[in-house]
Amino acid sequence: MSGMSAGRSAMRMGPAELVQAAAMARRFYLEGKSKIQIAEEFGVSRFKVARVLETALERDLVRIEIRVPAELDAERSDALRARYGLRHAVVVESPAEAEETPDPENLGEVAADLLGELVNEGDVLGLAWGRSTIHMAAALDRLPPCTVVQLTGVYDAGTAERGSVEAVRRAAQVSGGDAHPIYAPMLLPDAATATALRNQTGIARAFEHFDKVTVACVSIGSWEPGISTVHDMLSDEERAHYASLGVAAEMSAHLFDAEGRRVGRDLGERCITVKTHQLRRVPEVVAIAGGQRKGPAIDAVLRSGLVTSLVTDTSAADYLMTAGPAPKSALNRTDPDGV
């Protein structure tokens, strides 16, 4: 049996049908013509065109390939977005040599590209302290004109030039907008000292922008040494106290249990940071966090309803896809505490 005969038997399309189907597919997929335009050209109905295009796909005459950069996992990204009801979920391949390392640097690079898509001219971009947000700011190469404000104090005032202050300056430099850094530690000895600092002119000016933030970028920490800035700043007694309350995650100096409920609210009174009710009103809150060790913490924060989008890696994503019952959609922005 000849090749054409075999093809006709298998595909039930004669040579004229094959040629016509190929021509219609070329018009539709490569030239961007509508089905109505193709129908007029070939003198058939648009329903006939639709059937021919469908048959071309079924019979493998046309193959459609969806390609994304190798480092992006499109399947996991879509599954994670659907599970948590996120606006955007971007999953990056975990570095093979650093599977246990939290927040691989390539997360910051991808997050920088994502911000380039999400931020519009005139927006107010808020950046919270975190290694991942610092990596993101360093990788920024495009941003429309926008105001950039720091959402938290710094881990250590002595390292401000290498931390969140520099991240805010870098983002403002790329965008050509105004920068509002915060020259103050994130955690203070007591609430009175924190209140006094909030009233200082420069810090108060930054705080005035919190209610205007349209896109925020935050990090997530697990409640263990080296993976939570706040954990590392507290005394042993304080760590034990908050652990007894069931803390599973930390974001911008706010603590959450495994269900996404806030715990240890008294800690926030000692911190220079954006309030959770302010974050909940921000239209787009992008969390950058990855690594298998951070899986439970990411799940907890996503359940809080504070985050709308996530940039993570495959090792964390694999944990998240099986982390208990699926939560409510993050886009509901509901407060698990009901307050």
The predicted-structure confidence for 196-253, as pLDDT tens digits, reads as follows: 999 999 899 999 999 999 999 999 998 887 777 788 888 889 888 999 999 999 999 9
Are 205 and 154 members of one domain?
Answer: yes
Q: Does 52 map to a domain?
A: yes
Separation between Cα atoms, residue 47 and residue 51, nearest integer Å: 6
Please indicate whether residue 129 or residue 69 has the higher confidence score (pLDDT): 129
pLDDT at 124 over 90: yes
Question: What is residue 311's predicted lDDT score, i.e. its pLDDT?
Answer: 95
> Is residue 213 one of the residues assigned to a domain?
yes
Tell me how far CA of residue 123 lies from CA of 109, 119, 126, 177, 209, in angstroms: 21, 6, 10, 10, 11
> pLDDT band at residue 97, thresholds of 50, 70 and 90?
low
Domain assignment present for 255: yes
Distance CA(310)–CA(84), nearest Å, equals: 10
H/E segment holding residue 88: strand 88-92
User: Domain check: are 150 and 192 in the same one?
Assistant: yes
Residues 167 and 265 in one domain: yes
- Assess if residue 1 is contained within a domain: no
Asked if 50 and 80 sit in the same domain, the reply is no
Dihedral class, residue 81 (left if φ above 0, else alpha if ψ from -120 to 50, else beta): alpha
Domain containing residue 135: CATH number: 3.40.50.1360
Which of 127, 115, 119, 123 has its CA nearest to residue 90? 115
Residue 171 lies in a domain: yes
- The whole-number pLDDT of residue 158 equals 45
Residues 25 and 90 grouped into a single domain: no
Q: 277 lies in a domain?
A: yes
Q: Quick one: average pLDDT of 57-83?
A: 80
Residue 137 structural domain: 72-322
User: Is 10 part of a structural domain of the chain?
Assistant: no
Please state, in angstroms and as integers, the Cα–Cα distance from residue 264 to each residue in 235, 249, 261, 276, 286, following that order: 15, 11, 10, 13, 23
pLDDT above 80: residue 294: yes
What does the buried/exposed string (b/e) look like for 135-156 if buried means 16 or more CB atoms within 10 Å of the residue's CB? bbbebbeebeebbbbbbbbbbe
pLDDT, one tens digit per residue, over 215-229 is 999 999 988 877 777
In degrees and rounded to multiples of 5, residue 172 shows phi and psi of -65, -35
Q: What is the predicted pLDDT for the residue at 68?
A: 55
CA angle 29, 30, 33 (to 5 degrees): 70
99 shares its domain with 239: yes
Pair 153, 185: CB distance under 8 Å:
yes
Residues 41 and 117 reside in one and the same domain? no
128, part of any domain? yes
* 289 and 249 assigned to the same domain: yes
- Residues 236 and 289 placed together within one structural domain of the fold: yes
Looking at residue 328, its pLDDT comes to 72
Residue 339 has pLDDT above 60, yes or no: no
User: Can you give the pTM of this predicted structure?
Assistant: 0.77
* pLDDT range class, residue 69, cuts 50, 70, 90: low
Over residues 65-90, the mean pLDDT reads 83
Q: Which two tokens stand for residue 337?
A: 């505490």
Residues 269 and 301 in one domain: yes
- CATH number of the domain where residue 22 is located: 1.10.10
pLDDT for the residue 65: 67
The count of domains in the chain is: 2
Q: Provide the pLDDT confidence category of residue 337 given band limits of 50, 70 and 90.
A: low
C-alpha dist (Å) from residue 136 to 133, 182, 210, 217, 281: 5, 18, 20, 9, 23
